[in-house]
Structure formats: structure tokens, C-alpha cells
Structure 1
Amino acid sequence: MYSTITRVYLFLKLTMIIIFETLTQGKARCKCKTKLDGKVALITGGNTGIGLETARDLARRGATVIIASRNVEKSETAVQDIIKTTGNTNVHFKSLNLLKFSSIQQFAHEFDKEYHRLDILVNNSGAILDKQDFSEDGIERVIQINYVGPFLLTELLMHKLIASKPSRIVIVSSKAHELHEADPNDIAGLTPLKFWTRFSNSKLYNILWARALAKRLPEGVTANALHPGIVKTEIFDGMSEWVRKVALWVISLFFKNAEEGAQTTIHACVAPELELVTGEYFEECRIQSANKMTRDEKLVDYVWENTMKLVKDRLPKPL
């Protein structure tokens, strides 16, 4: 358990983020009318919150939408909800556990067989966990859910994205990346850290990853990261009860609901003017400046190389 001093420190740090968002956050909306008939979109964590509202919007535009999650019951309910509210019956659920490399590999193998294309990949899944713990792959769980798992998934589906170009990779990050204490030599997150720092580190890696992808992807495949705003979603479910209740109460008073929070993600998925835009960071449906570290090309490459090595070293089957 955290000491009283640590709890006060964490509360003040969260309060700083909340005050800043109160002063600066708007509620911009994606206004483009892009249709997605014939397109295939995959959304991790698409059964609730921002992911659900993103899936609903893309389905309404005519895309075949696949929700990837480990919660079967919640995902099946989400699929029926999206079908009912959009009239699009091409909405499906596939089981994916980002905490297991073996599950990610199995998912990618099955997706490759079942779907002939992949036009939009939304790496939306995210978690904030109170306790520092590790996956069966030996990676800190927040880092694996928020960054390393999506990194592997994207690599395994890259051939499909390239074959379907123009295609887009959208990575849901957070303004919390500015409060990081990341060590690029410890991508696995083995160093003991506070919950907020582990979350912030994972979100910094998300932006560095988008930059690295942009340098390596062929023309026609883009990768961008974004901050959705402070949103009332289930991402806080892994927190201690008192932190979760306080956070959700404050968010419900001042910040975005899930539908509002999904707008920047949707914009990154469908805005026609972004077809060739890559390696950027978005807030409120606009390109914004991220932490200056994300413009350090040596760091971008270093984190990419270390993450790739980490993944290859721990895969049950070769990449």
C-alpha cells in the first residue's frame, strides 16, 4: 500500500493535470462526412468508452468493424448495441488479450485468415493499474496493455495494412505523457514506479512509437497519436476505490463523456485532409506539440529498437 505522503503526492499530481485540462480543454468534433463502405476497421478495447463510440461512428459510416477485447460478454453486448444504433450488421467481436503475446499472435493469425484487408487500426486499449505487476511475458502490465502489446499487434498486421493502403494506424495516447519518468533502457517497466508514472511512461512510448512508424512505413500508410482529453471511461477501473471515485466524480463535473472523447480518434481515422499526414500528435482534432523528447530522433529510434528487441526476445513464436 502507498504511504500517506505518497497518496498526497499522487493526488496533487493528478490535480495539476485536471486544472490544466479545465483551463485548456475544448470539445472539438470531427465534422467530416467520410464514408467507409468496403473498408475494414479494427479497434482494440472497442467494447466500452472511447473505443465503443469510435466503433459506433465507423460502423455508421459503413465500415466493417471488428472489436478486439478479452471481455466476451461486454464485447458481444457492444456489438449488438452498435448494430442496433447504426443499422450496420458488419460488426464483429474477436477475442484478444494484450497481456499475452500468445493471444496477440493467435488473434493476428485468425484475423489474417478471416479478413482480406485492414484499412484502419485503432490502438485504443488502455489501463491505469494501482498495483505494479507483471504479465506472463515478464512485462509490467500497464506498459504491455498500453504500448508493447499494441506494438506487437501492429507489427503482426502490418502486411495487411500495407496491402490495403491508403490505410491508417491511430494510437490513443494521453497528455499524461508530459509527466513521464521513462527510461528507454527499461521498456519492460521492471523499475518500481508509482501508478501515474507507469501510465505516463506508456503514453510517452505511444507517441515515440507513432514517430518511429512514420519513419518506417511506406507511403500510403500513416501512423498518428492523440490525446482524447480527460474522459469518463472504465480506464480507471484498475485503481484503488478512493482514487477511482474521486477521479470519476471530478471528470463527470468538468470533462468529456465517451462520445465527446472519441472525436479526435474519429478525426484521425477518417479526415480526408490527413491522408498523407503521419507521425503527428493530435488534441481537439488538431495537430499539437507533444513533449520535446518526442522530437528527439535518436530517442525515437532507440526506443523502437529496444521495443523490437524486447518483443522478439519474448515471443513464443518468431516474429
Structure 2
Amino acid sequence: MNANAAKTALVTGASSGVGWEASAQLAEAGYGRIVVAARTLAKADEARDALLARVPGAQFVPLALDLDDFTSIDNAAQALVAAGNPIDALILNAGVAATSALRRTARGIEQIMSATITGHHALTSHLLRAELLSPSARIIIAGSEAARGDVPTFSNIDVQALAAASFDGDLERAIEAILRVDKPVKFANGTQYATAKTFAVWWAKELATRLPAGMTVNAVSPGNTPDTKASREMPAIMRRVMLPIMKLMPSMWHSVPTAAARYLTVIEMPDGVTGQFFASPATKMTGPVTSMTMSHFTNVEGQRALWNVINRVAGVSNASKN
């Protein structure tokens, strides 16, 4: 019997692209049940039908999950609790690419930050409180090479410098200003995207200190994968100029199946591998997943401050370390 047959996986952003492909690969790896989460139930149903055409006989369960809407997250969590199946692999894949204009959710959170980090935090917190993650659960959150600091047009906000210059050194106030793009923070798509992905790494590192022994959490970049719908949100110069140029250079991009396989590679890593960020080797956009060691990915004070801020803006009441 396949060792994965009794396992359940949940994939966010599963209606297309890397999330859809990861769902298919999990089924092909023998996972007995894959919850495919999409912004609407109609999209999730469409994804299930297409996945069944690829992997007949697999069990794909559609779930409506809008990460910009905390009520939707609450409802999705309640549906998962009612189903009662412990989750063995939680792939927090959903997100949006660097958008061309500033957009905020109803709660006033900038959309890249909402899709990347605050919505996933709320969902994960629900699952942990309900003890719906299995004792050996693997949690993956999508990162990006853009966060490394070596990708042209992408740069991180220096949280410490912002806090010192504008918030009397208060990291939490600085981080909340970044999440909301409140003054003095100004929206710049590449910077906001890179910072959101750095926050995803900080979140994974902080969560790793809070999980029970046996569970792991890691950030994983799918790598540069232009053949997804994410590019439709990018500024025109990136869609029409940069991506076509990249596609002329095979070493600069890879396929959707290769991208999705990165998630499964890290899921299979042993218990001791947690709180890390896996991406392409430094300065590269593709290649074997490699643990990133850039200094800005390890910031204990920033990690703790980010956790506290996200708890507050997401209305999460789970206990945090002091």
C-alpha cells in the first residue's frame, strides 16, 4: 500500500498554475485526499474536474477560500474542521504577482501582503487551534527569488531603518505601515513584492519556533515560472518586455511542473529541516532548491514583531511567545 494513501493535503491557489500542478502531483504521489482551495467555489469545482481528468480516481475536494476576506477564511476553516480529516501537507501557494497599482482589501491590507502572508497566517492559525494538522504535518509557504536582493527591479524595505526614521524604533508600527502602505511607506510594486516574500520567510522561521516537535514549516520559491496566470497582474513592462526576454534564455525560467515539484521535494525532507527558505542558487532563477542564508532572512526581532502585527490585523487570538 502506498505510504501516502491515508494522507490529506491542502493547496491554496489551486485553480491554476503551480497550485493546480502541485495538487496533481500530490495525487500522483498517492495522497488519498487533496483539498483544492480557490477564491470561489466555482473555480475550485473547475479545478477539481480538470484534475480528475488528469488523475482519474483521485479524491479532490473543492474549497472556497478568499485570502483577502477573513470571513471567507473563517468559513473555510469551519468546513475543514467539520470534515475532520487531519492535514498532512499544507501548501500555502496562493499569491499575486507584483501589481501595477496599489490595491487594499476591505480591512485595509495591501493586496500582495494579504494574499502572501496575512490570509495564510489566519488560515494556519485556525488549523493549529483546531488541532487539524497531523503530528507530522509539513507546511510550505511560497517564497520568491525576488526576496534575495540580487534580482533586478526588486528590493526589500529595510524595516529597521524605517522604524528608526519614522516610528521611534518601533518595529511593529513600521511593519504595519508596510502591510497597509501607510505613510511614510510609498507603494512600489517590486519593493512591495520582495518585502512580502521576505515576510513569508520571517513568518516561516517564527512559526518553526512555535510548532510541536514533528511538524515542519519552510518557505519555498517555485522559481521563475512565466507560464502561469500570475503575470497578468504584473506591470506592463514586466509582462511585455521582461518575461518575453527571459523566455529566450532557458536558464532563466522553468516549467510549471518543475516549479510545483519543488514543493514536493521539500515536503519529503526530514523533521529537522524547518524554518528555512529554499530557492534557486544565489543570483539564479532556476536550478536545484538551495537553502538561502542571506543575513536579512534571519531577523529574530523582526520575525516576532511581524507575528504580533499579523495576529492583530487578522484578529487572531492564538497565544504568542513573549
TM bin (shorter chain)? 0.7 to 0.9
Shift of the 285–66 alpha-carbon distance from structure 1 to 2, 3 Å rule, reads: farther
CA distance, structure 2, for counterparts of residue 103 and residue 158 of structure 1: 17
Structure 1 residue 77 corresponds to structure 2 residue 66: no
- What is the RMSD computed on CA atoms of the aligned residues? 2.0
Aligned to 1:23: none
Gaps of 5+ in 1: 1-33
Aligned pair partner of 1:213 in 207, 227, 231:
207
Superposition pairs for residues 108-257 of structure 1, below 5 Å?
Answer: 108-128=77-97, 129-159=99-129, 164-178=134-148, 179-181=155-157, 183=159, 184=171, 185-187=174-176, 188-190=179-181, 191-232=185-226, 233-253=228-248, 254=250, 255-257=253-255
Please, which moves more after superposition, 114-123 or 216-225? 114-123
Secondary structure, in 3 states, of the residue corresponding to 2:5? coil
Give the corresponding residue for 2:71. Answer: 102
Give 1:147 shift.
Answer: 1.0
What's the counterpart of residue 60 of structure 1?
28
Question: Is the partner of 2:209 in helix, strand or coil?
Answer: helix
Question: Would the alpha carbon gap of residues 159 and 36 (structure 1) be closer, same or farther in structure 2, given more than 3 Å must change?
Answer: farther
- Does the 8 Å CA contact 1:60/1:87 hold for their aligned counterparts? no
Deviation by residue 1:15-38 (Cα, 9 ceiling, x = unmatched): xxxxxxxxxxxxxxxxxxx84211
Residue 306 of structure 1 pairs with residue 309 of structure 2: yes
* CA deviation string 1:232-260 (max 9, x = no partner): 21112112444323344234333112111
- The 3 A distance-change label for structure 1 pair 301 and 71 is same
Deviations 1:32-89 (A, max 9, x none): xx84211110000011111111100101122210111114444333212221222233
Residue identity matched to 2:216: T
Q: How many angstroms does 1:264 deviate by?
A: 1.2
Unaligned runs of 5+ in 2: 149-154, 160-170, 280-286
1:277 offset after TM fit, Å? Answer: 1.4
Identity of aligned residues (%): 23
Question: For the residues of structure 2 that align with 1:162 and 1:277, how far apart are their CA atoms?
Answer: 21
CA deviation map 1:170-190 (0-9, x unaligned): 011001113211535233232
Residues 165 and 140 of structure 1: CA distance in aligned 2, closer, same or farther (over 3 Å)? same
Q: 1:39 aligns with which of 7, 27, 33?
A: 7
Q: Is the contact between residue 177 and residue 200 of structure 1 (CA under 8 Å) also seen in structure 2?
A: yes
Query: TM-score, with normalisation over the residues of structure 2?
Result: 0.81
Report the 3-state secondary structure (helix = DSSP H, G, I; strand = E; otherwise coil) of the residue aligned with 1:53.
helix
Paired residue for 2:299, among 275, 296, 299? 296
Matching residue of 1:10 = none
Q: Any conservation in 1 of the 2:85–2:132 contact (CA below 8 Å)?
A: no
Are 2:232 and 1:264 aligned? Answer: no
The AA in structure 2 aligned to 1:278 is: T
User: Which amino acid counterpart does residue 254 of structure 2 have in structure 1?
Assistant: K
**What secondary structure, in the 3-state scheme, does the structure 2 residue paired with 1:229 have?**
coil
Q: Deviations over 1:179-233 (max 9, x none)?
A: 2115352332323221111111110000000000111111011100112211021
Counting matched residue pairs gives 280
SS of 2:135's equivalent?
coil
> In structure 2, how many angstroms separate the alpha carbons of the residues matched to 1:196 and 1:277?
30
Amino acid corresponding to residue 55 of structure 2 in structure 1 = T
SS at match of 1:126: coil
